[in-house]
Amino acid sequence: MQKTFTLTVVDCPNCAERMAKAIRKVPGVTEANINFITRKLTLQLADTVTDETLASVQKVVARMQRGCVMV
């Protein structure tokens, strides 16, 4: 399953790549890519994805980039 979110804050391309790499480690996430220019986060998720998985991704986003929220 694929889901796309807009990130409210992404400071630099390197920050975006580090964030995507950390998101890939979240259980249930099979792939994560961030387009720095558009601030789009695209997730490939296992079929068994839950709200907890998305909450974990949001926690990673907030930890990696202060003030950043997925919308």
What is the residue extent of each domain of the chain? 2-64
| Interstrand relation of 40-45 and 2-6 (parallel, antiparallel or unpaired) | antiparallel
pLDDT, averaged per 10 consecutive residues of the chain (71 residues), comes to 94 93 96 96 91 95 92 93
Bridge-partner residues for 33, per DSSP? 42
pLDDT of residue 13: 93
Return the CATH number of the domain spanning residue range 2-64. Answer: 3.30.70.100
CA distances to 8, 11, 40, 54 from 3, rounded to whole Å, are 16, 22, 10, 10
